[in-house]
Amino acid sequence: MTKQINWKQEIISYAFLLFGSALFAIGDVMFVNPYNLAPGGTYGLSNVLNAMYPWKVSLYAICMDIPLLIIGTWILGPKFGFKTILSTFLIFGCTYILESTWGYAPVIFEHKMDVQLDDTWLNILGTNTYFKPDYFLNTVVSGGIYGLAIGFVFKSGATSGGSDIISMILHKYTKISLGTLVMIVDSIITLTSLMLGNFRLPIYSILLIVIESKIIDLVVDGVKSYKTAFIITDKIEDVRLFIINDLDRGGTCFVGSGLFKGQERKMIYTNLDRADLVKLKLSLRSIDPNAFVNVIESAEVMGNGFVPLPHNDK
């Protein structure tokens, strides 16, 4: 059976990929690189190399990305889809164009002058202009831009590739979790900024990574917060009707036995958003003040009435 392609979804997907790649280049060239930050990944290491041995950041990165893709495919198999490969070259192209036209001049700074006053003033590579940095504001903005960029790349169905491939290879031959390995590899890359002689650089780079990760979660998962409620009550029918009729939600009813008396009890399992949970708690007080409710945070809820199940792009 031939799978029918959803062209609208595909167009949106590639638009996300293009937008995310262009935004990543803006974040790196105009915000991250001028401050010599190294927030992990091949582009983080490229920024450090660029400061030590001036050459285009994009060229440093692509010289690492292509071998990593080849080695990763050889060791891990064909896990890297077309979109990941396309993302690698789109980010390279956008970064190359931007650094060739804009240079590495910062967007955020306190002052800019034509003479160097003291060690707190950083040279804009390729010019004779110096600027007094605003590390904190630049880090916050950089983290936001990076998070949006990578979030849109993820939403397109691509992955970041790059240094993550190193983590995936190490994960194959060790018992260390992939998340831990990604953190270790990115931390090592971040610490390379110490070679530039400023101890603040890795600290701000780590802060950038934290902000970036939060923004990625918002882009990929959205701001919608879902809760899972387990309700044990003697008035199971009244609660069931309230959830169905008043909240317009569904759920599942389980039968279990209490630990103390072994008495058979019914329990409702239901997923709600934050507003519906407030309504449920207020109504339960009048329906059954003795009800027992356990509410847990749900990272993601998919299916009818919630986030649609993902499409299989294979």
**Which pLDDT value is given to residue 1?**
43
Domains parsed from the chain with CATH numbers: 7-221 (no CATH), 226-298 (3.30.70.120)
What is the per-residue pLDDT for 232?
87
Determine the pLDDT at residue 141. Answer: 96
**Digitized pLDDT (tens) for each residue of the chain, 314 residues in all:** 445 667 778 888 899 999 999 999 999 999 999 999 998 889 999 999 999 998 999 999 999 999 988 888 888 777 667 888 888 999 999 999 999 999 888 888 876 665 554 555 555 544 456 778 889 999 999 999 998 998 888 888 777 677 778 877 887 788 777 667 777 888 889 999 899 888 889 999 999 988 988 888 788 766 666 788 898 888 888 888 888 888 888 888 888 777 777 777 888 888 887 778 888 888 888 888 888 888 887 766 666 666 666 655 44
Q: Tell me, what's the pLDDT at 29?
A: 94
Cβ atoms of 37 and 187 within 8 Å: the answer is no
User: What's the pLDDT score for residue 314?
Assistant: 44
171 contacts 184 by C-beta, under 8 angstroms: no
Round to whole Å and give the CA distance between 6 and 153: 19
